[in-house]
């Protein structure tokens, strides 16, 4: 049995990681400041975890949190491209300064490995598809820059201090517990909940933008593999975590119409600043080094997610 620290355990990805680890008999400690995480996400598992309400910007709290920990899964962040365009400083503090704190605390506590929630946004709008890890990053939004900067810090801490770090570039993760309530929420959480309430979802731009939407179970699996892979395969490296298939927003809307029986049409709004057009991953590096392959495809993931919101709403 190993002890895991999950930063951002109140978030949708952090709380999913916690549930999965608990079901495997692992020990879970978690921190969250509930700036974007939610109490409801951890309420059910609250008695099974060592939970500390803390901000990753608080270095002392991170030192405490890392004590006696084997693996850190660093998920805490202020996500959202448009939010970072409005507040680049806030994005940088949470997404860069916060990461450096977590790394310092993990280094000092002699943690075995830190796995980081990096982002596909690092690639930016490069025309080459699929995106692979050897491409030169081209971040557009402040959020993308911050996520990429933290990846570099991960690598730096491996090179300078020998702390084993792995960055997982998540490609639009979705699934149960993703918060649909903020204007900055992920598109699938917003579309699904709107359509189940018979409300009109809004497409920003022409709807032809595409994403490699990745169901949460695939991201959880990638984290577990990233902890256990031999250091020679994983440490100091960056991996795409995705499915290797992209769908447009219009296609996605139609698929959701079939699942939810929503009869209306989407509204259209202006394209978002900082948005990128197409996103598709090459997942062969993660397959080669981590043994990663997607467990749940997009259609199945959509079905499961709609089912979950149907019950939760």
> Looking at 10, 37, 79, 98, which residue binds ligand UD2 (CB under 6 A)?
79
Q: How far is the CB of 153 from ligand UD2 (least distance, A)?
A: 17
> Looking at 92, 172, 218, 260, which residue binds ligand UD2 (CB under 6 A)?
172
Q: Would residue 25 be called left, alpha or beta, if left means φ above 0 and alpha means ψ between -120 and 50 degrees?
A: left
Q: How far is the CB of 69 from ligand UD2 (least distance, A)?
A: 25
Q: How far is the CB of 170 from ligand UD2 (least distance, A)?
A: 5
> For residue 123, what is the DSSP state?
G
Q: Which residues are the active-site residues?
A: 143
Q: How far is the CB of 181 from ligand UD2 (least distance, A)?
A: 12
Q: Whose Cβ is closer to ligand UD2: residue 102's or residue 194's? A: 194
Contacts (CB under 6 A) with ligand UD2, residues 261-300: 272, 275-276, 279
Q: Kindly give, in sequence order, each residue whose CB lies less than 8 Å from that of residue 295, ignoring residues fewer than 6 positions away.
A: 215, 217, 218, 221
Does residue 80 bind ligand UD2 (CB under 6 A)?
Answer: yes
- How far is it, in rounded angstroms, from Cα 224 to Cα 247? 27
Q: How far is the CB of 84 from ligand UD2 (least distance, A)?
A: 9
Report phi then psi at 203, rounded to 5: -100, 125
Strand pairing category for 247-248 and 173-174: unpaired
Nearest-CA neighbor of 249 among 192, 195, 207? 207
Does residue 150 bind ligand UD2 (CB under 6 A)?
Answer: no
Does residue 202 bind ligand UD2 (CB under 6 A)?
Answer: yes
Does residue 91 bind ligand UD2 (CB under 6 A)?
Answer: no
CA distances to 154, 182, 195, 313 from 265, in Å: 44, 22, 10, 22
Q: Whose Cβ is closer to ligand UD2: residue 190's or residue 289's? A: 190
The greatest distance separating any two alpha carbons of the chain, rounded to the nearest whole angstrom, comes to 57
Q: The tokens 């997982």 sit on which residue? A: 168
Q: Point out which residues bind ligand UD2 (CB under 6 A).
A: 79-81, 119-121, 170-172, 186-187, 190, 202-205, 209, 211, 249, 272, 275-276, 279
């Amino acid at each position: 049995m190993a002890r895991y620290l999950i930063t951002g355990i109140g978030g949708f990805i952090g709380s999913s990681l916690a549930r999965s680890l608990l079901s495997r008999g692992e020990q879970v400690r978690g921190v969250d400041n509930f700036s974007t995480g939610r109490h409801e996400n951890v309420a059910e598992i609250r008695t099974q975890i060592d939970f500390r309400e803390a901000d990753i910007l608080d270095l002392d709290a991170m030192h405490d949190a890392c004590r006696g920990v084997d693996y850190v899964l660093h998920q805490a962040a202020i996500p959202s491209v448009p939010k970072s365009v409005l507040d680049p400083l806030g994005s940088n503090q949470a997404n860069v300064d916060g990461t450096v704190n977590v790394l310092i605390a993990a280094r000092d506590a002699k943690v075995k490995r830190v796995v980081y929630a990096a982002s596909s946004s690092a690639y930016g709008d490069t025309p080459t598809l699929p995106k692979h890890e050897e491409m030169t990053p081209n971040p557009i939004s402040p959020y993308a820059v911050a996520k990429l900067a933290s990846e570099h810090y991960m690598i730096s801490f491996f090179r300078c201090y020998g702390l084993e770090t792995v960055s997982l570039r998540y490609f639009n993760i979705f699934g149960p517990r993703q918060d649909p309530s903020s204007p900055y929420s992920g598109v699938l959480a917003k579309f699904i909940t709107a359509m189940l309430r018979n409300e009109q979802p809004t497409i920003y731009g022409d709807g032809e933008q595409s994403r490699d939407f990745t169901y949460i179970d695939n991201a959880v699996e990638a984290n577990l593999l990233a902890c256990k892979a031999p250091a020679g395969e994983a440490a100091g490296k960056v991996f795409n975590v995705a499915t290797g298939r992209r769908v447009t927003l219009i296609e996605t809307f139609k698929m959701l119409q079939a699942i939810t029986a929503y009869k209306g049409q989407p509204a259209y709004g202006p394209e978002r600043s900082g948005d990128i057009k197409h996103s598709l991953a090459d997942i062969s590096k993660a397959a080669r080094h981590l043994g990663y392959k997607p467990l749940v495809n997009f259609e199945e993931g959509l079905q499961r997610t709609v089912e979950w919101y149907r019950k939760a709403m």
